[in-house]
Amino acid sequence: MYLTQPIPASPASTGARIKAYFAQTRLSLLVRSPIALISALVLIALVLIAVIGAPLALETANFQSLRLRFFPPFSLEHGWIYVLGADGLGRSMLAQLIVGARTSFIVAGAAVGLAAVVGTSIGMISGFVGGWVDAALMRVSDIIVTVPSLLLALAVLFVLEPSIFNLVAVLAVSRLPIYLRVARAQTLELRERVFVEASRAIGATNLRIIWRDIRPLVLPTVMTVSMLELASVMLAAAGLSFLGVGLQRPDVDWGTIVSEGREYLTRAWWATVFPGMAIVITALAANFLSNWLRASGDPLQAGALAAATARQEDALK
């Protein structure tokens, strides 16, 4: 093949390839697995409630009423907004849960996203470059692993002011090593593949190889890990808020609500039980989904690998 000749575009084959790619992605598989489908729908519904419901519920969530103190749940006497009862200040539990949902999702989502992007980037560079850079980065990761995450978070948040940003940053740093190791391990294997060698032969820079050849193949695993992490980061964030170093009023997440409810555990069980149940439902949905992603992991990886190989073949023609 000569460089002067334009590469003929073949829409038919590209279209067929896209079709085959979608057939191999998990979307078509998702529909066939009821538990995974329900989990995905539950998560989507919760995110929608958090996004749309939180601004609407904010005022109600902060509305205090002495008359409604410890109003028990499952009664529609004061309207559906008090169906989950009211806390010690007469605030609607349902409204608070909806407002807490937004913060819980923002914190967990942002922490997972930040850790995934930074950790995967560092991991890919570490694995691809190797040498002392790799050794140094792995030692940093060892250090993070050495100090138990809650203790590190407790200590850092003790020094810094409690805020959403600081909470996200601390959670993200403590979760970095997982992505770093996963991305590094895959990169170590992928960099020996023929298509990487081929890219190098046609003069691609290291960064281009990492971005175009390695990233697409590392991504599915990172996505699976992220989904698994979403649940555990949500639990970790709630734990920090429960201990009083995470979020503080006026910011509330489900952990803050549990810690407030705990003060009158014997008087009003619902103020403790419901926010915890919200965490359990969310985490369970995320865990079911990630468990299924792992189980169905091979088809997509195979698909992604096939797509990448096909692209490399195109480039070499």
Which residues contribute to the site for another protein (CB under 8 A)? 139-140, 142-143, 146-152, 154-156, 158-160, 231-232, 235, 238-239, 242-245, 255, 258, 262, 265-266, 269, 272-273, 276, 279-280, 283-284, 286-288, 291
Given the complex with another protein, which of 209 and 228 has the nearer CB atom? 228
SS (H, E, C) 217-236: HHHHHHHHHHHHHHHHHHHH
DSSP codes of every residue in 262-296: HTTTTT-THHHHHHHHHHHHHHHHHHHHHHHHHHT
- The distance of closest approach from Cβ of residue 239 to another protein in the complex, given in angstroms and rounded to an integer, is 6
- Which residue's CB is nearer to another protein, number 25 or number 287? 287
**Shortest Cβ distance from residue 77 to another protein (Å)?**
25
Provide, rounded to whole angstroms, the least separation between the CB of residue 154 and another protein: 6
In the complex, the smallest distance separating the C-beta of residue 243 from another protein, rounded to whole angstroms, is 6
* CB 158, min distance to another protein, A: 6
The DSSP call for residue 191 is T
In the bound state with another protein, the residue whose beta carbon lies nearer, of 123 and 255, is 255
Which residues make beta-bridge pairs with 211?
none
Distances (CA, A) of 146 to 140, 150, 177, 274: 10, 12, 11, 34
For the chain, the C-alpha Rg in angstroms (whole number) is 24
Our CB check for another protein shows the closer of 127 and 275 to be 275
Burial class for 75, CB neighbours closer than 10 Å (0-12, 13-18, 19+): exposed
90 vs 162 by CB, closer to another protein: 162
